[in-house]
Amino acid sequence: MIELKDVWFSYDDRFVLKDINLKVEKGERVVVLGVNGSGKTTLLKLLNALLFPVKGTYIYKGRKIEKNAFKDREFSKTFRREVVLLFQNPDAMLFNPTVYDEIAFGLRQLGFEEKIVKERVLQWAEIFGLTQYLNKPPFTLSGGQKQRLSLACLLVLKPEVLLLDEPTANLDPKSVGWLIDFLNELKEITTVISTHNLSLAPELGNRLIVIGEEGSIIYDGELEIFIKDQEKLLRAGLLHKHKDRVPLCMDKHSMQTHL
Ligand code: ADP
């Protein structure tokens, strides 16, 4: 469904993603793990065609994804409906006067009739527990509610690929739990989820892609195997070797033997 072939990307004169080769099949749940600054957001923006490779090729459903492809309005509409990205900070996505208008926005952009817009907005507001807030401005919602609203805005479009950028980063534990349960129910949708949180990764998906600190993929496979590989964990900057900690009560002699 998705293929990146030898993809390189730079914002300026420094490559932040290097030689990325990646295939994602329909229905897969992929976790992209890497430290802050390793290029996870950039990768998701490439998959969402907000950015385009400097070198290499992005193919979606057999079609090469490049800037020119979006001059074709029909293709552009289809791609924007099928492949959606949840930004790390929900505030970046919310700008409509009410929760209702926010959920309706994408559907209206795509030219859906107002009757269908209403049906779908009410349906998704219900699923995400937002019905009572429909007439409220989005900025009055809590962080967890904003995250749910952002997801509703995307899922109302019935996407085929859901890209989630650090979706748990700003959530309290209860909302993280809710999100994980929700994602587990999304069987049909292909999802690519980025995180820098190694301990959360197993909850988010079954296939793991790790971007090393230098911006290339250093692992693609089962999560269980990766977390047992100390060398790879260190290379990805996901493990930190602490200097031996000396208990405060130690006397000079035992400290020497400890060291
Ligand atoms: P991550 O999501 O893993 O934290 P990013 O994809 O956000 O990583 O960033 C990868 C690298 O690209 C970082 O070094 C970051 O500073 C740089 N970067 C991100 N966005 C821009 C931008 N708009 N202009 C220049 N450099 C950027």
**Is pLDDT at 204 greater than 80 in this prediction?**
yes
Tell me the residue length of the chain. Answer: 259
Residues in the ligand 1 pocket, defined by CB under 6 Å:
11-12, 16, 34, 36-42
CATH number at residue 115: 3.40.50.300
Which pLDDT does position 244 carry in this prediction?
55
Lowest mean pLDDT among 22-31, 204-213, 250-259: 250-259
Task: Give the domain extent around 86.
Answer: 2-258
Q: What confidence tens digit (pLDDT) does each residue in 128-138 have?
A: 899 999 999 99
Q: What confidence tens digit (pLDDT) does each residue in 128-185 have?
A: 899 999 999 999 998 889 989 999 999 999 999 999 999 888 788 888 888 888 888 8
Q: Which residue has the higher pLDDT, 248 or 48?
A: 48
> What is the number of alpha carbons within 13 Å of residue 18 lying toward its C-beta?
12
Which pLDDT does position 154 carry in this prediction?
93
Contacts for 2 with CB less than 8 Å, ≥ 6 apart: 22, 23, 24, 47, 58, 59, 60, 161, 190, 192
> What's the rounded Cα separation, in Å, for the pair 26 and 49?
18
What mean pLDDT comes out for the span 183-206?
Answer: 87
Provide the sign of the torsion angle of the four alpha carbons 104, 107, 113, 118, taken in this order.
Answer: negative
Distance 42 CA to ligand 1 centre (A): 6
Q: What confidence tens digit (pLDDT) does each residue in 85-107 have?
A: 999 888 888 899 999 999 999 99
What mean pLDDT comes out for the span 195-199?
Answer: 85
Domain count, the chain: 1
Which pLDDT does position 247 carry in this prediction?
45
Q: By alpha-carbon position, which residue is closest to atom 23 of ligand 1?
A: 11
Distance 211 CA to ligand 1 centre (A): 13
**Pocket mutation for ligand 1, best pick of 12, 15, 16 (most atoms within 8 Å of C-beta):** 16
> What's the rounded Cα separation, in Å, for the pair 189 and 28?
8
Percent of the chain with pLDDT over 90: 61
Helix (H) or strand (E) holding 151: helix 143-155
pLDDT band at 257 (very low <50, low <70, confident <90, very high): very low
Task: Centre a 10 Å sphere on the Cβ of residue 253 and count the other Cβ atoms it contains.
Answer: 8
**Pocket mutation for ligand 1, best pick of 8, 9, 42, 86 (most atoms within 8 Å of C-beta):** 42
